[in-house]
Amino acid sequence: METNKNTRVADEKTGDMIQITHDKLDLQALTETVALPQCGAISTFLGTTRDNFEGKVVHRLEYECYTNMAVKEFLKIFADMRLKWSDIGRIAIAHRLGVVPVCETSVIIAVSSPHRKNALQAVEYCIDTLKATVPIWKKEVYKNEDSEWKSNKGFTRIQHHNS
């Protein structure tokens, strides 16, 4: 598993960008990446660490990733998004690895388009598909330092149907 490197992939043709990093994520930088003069909408999603899950007190999350495969899956998601919403301007995603404390951001998605409806729908599609297909694993660490690797219900469901 490749978990110790920061990766940034930019598509020269579309301007789309993927960032997988151990560093804190920067919403402003990602928003600037997708901004285009012909696009009147930029929609974003931020996934943050919450302090609880099913009655347990969450202290932090820890993420690991198979980077090369994750990049390939992100590129597939981007291609699907462009088929569904042909007027998308740019797409950018940043996902954090390693320790992500409560209230900090683990994922940011930004999409630009001429109008808000397509940008909003594309962002929702992107996060749902990411959670179902991209090989990024999350461990919840609880207040008492017990921990549990969380399976992605969407990923499990898709894998089961493909077997």
Report the CATH number that the domain containing residue 138 is assigned in CATH: 3.90.1170.40
- Domain assignment present for residue 2? The answer is no
Residue 70 located in a structural domain:
yes
Distance of alpha carbon 23 from alpha carbon 2, whole angstroms: 16
Q: Would you say residue 3 has pLDDT above 90? A: no
Residue 148's pLDDT band (boundaries 50, 70, 90)?
confident
Q: Looking at the 3D structure of the chain, how many domains does it have? A: 1
Q: Residue 107's beta-bridge partner residues?
A: 47, 95
| CB of 88 closer than 8 Å to CB of 119 | yes
Q: Confidence band (pLDDT; 50, 70, 90) for 131?
A: very high
pLDDT of residue 160: 34
Q: Is residue 93 part of a domain?
A: yes
Q: Does a structural domain hold residue 1?
A: no
In a domain, 68, yes or no: yes
- Between CA 5 and CA 20 the distance in angstroms is 8
Q: Which residues make beta-bridge pairs with 97?
A: none
Which amino acid belongs to residue 106? S
Query: Would 110 be classed as within a structural domain?
Result: yes
User: Considering the domain boundaries, does residue 159 fall inside one?
Assistant: no
Domain carrying residue 106:
7-151
Contact predicate 43/122, CB 8 Å: yes
Mean pLDDT value across the chain: 91
* Model confidence at 157: pLDDT above 80: no
Q: What is the pTM of this model?
A: 0.89
- Residue 71, helix vs strand vs coil: helix
- What is the Cα–Cα distance from 133 to 155, expressed in whole angstroms? 5
**153 token code pair:** 């219900």
In a domain, 158, yes or no: no
